[in-house]
Structure 1
Amino acid sequence: MIDQTNKKLKTTVVNVRSEPYDVCIMRPSILGNPFVISRDGTRNEVIEKFKKYFVHMMLTDSNFRAVVENLRGKKIGCCCSPAACHGDVYAEFLNGYDDETGDDEA
């Protein structure tokens, strides 16, 4: 079940080294990006790979989907921010998707 108090709050990505955060989204957690810069491509390439992985996981893994939904309205922390980060994928999804209607809010 989604915490309704966080429903209209924005999910934001912050740097774990310099800002307080609610949830760490780094490896090795379920929220970490399985694609690594250099080994799997450039920063942009691994984020693009993560987007495909994210869609697949949201469609096929109910546990992953529930964990992601619980990020709504929270400060999520990674070491990449403010650089482009897989956390931006979570934030864009959660800030632009209305879970009750299934429609984009914009």
Structure 2
Amino acid sequence: MRKQGHPRVIAWANARGLLVRIDRKSPWGNDFKEGKDGTLQEVIALYAASLSGRPDLLKDLPTLRGKALMCWCAPKPCHGDALIQRLKELEPST
């Protein structure tokens, strides 16, 4: 596991209760694995598609708004991008 990140941002967000783990050790984790289930882009797409069948996660999705989502993928693309996209879809249109 890559221990990479932005220590100051992580510490700042954690101290303010804004840090939310979205790795596989959390309910938000991506069960699809790069290599086994496809390329990185494919497993992110699989995760995004699987969200529709996860009412438990969709119900709690608004709790992620304004939070710092922490996963080990950074700086590569991440399933967190799919969560952010779903959050944006919940925002009212202007």
> Is the shorter-chain TM-score for this pair beyond 0.5, marking a shared fold?
yes
Amino acid at match of 2:52: V
Q: CA RMSD in A?
A: 2.1
Q: Which runs of 5+ in 1 are unaligned?
A: 1-14
Gaps of 5+ in 2: 14-18
The structure with the largest helix share of the pair is 2
Match of 1:23 among 17, 20, 23: 20
Code of the residue aligned with 2:75 in structure 1: it is: P
Give identity over the alignment, percent.
30
The more displaced of 30-39 and 63-72 is: 63-72
TM-score normalised to the size of structure 1? Answer: 0.67
Candidates 70, 82, 92, aligned match of 1:77: 70
Give the match's secondary structure for 2:33: coil
- Number of residue equivalences: 83
By relative contact order (CA 8 Å, sep 6+), the higher-ranking structure is: 1
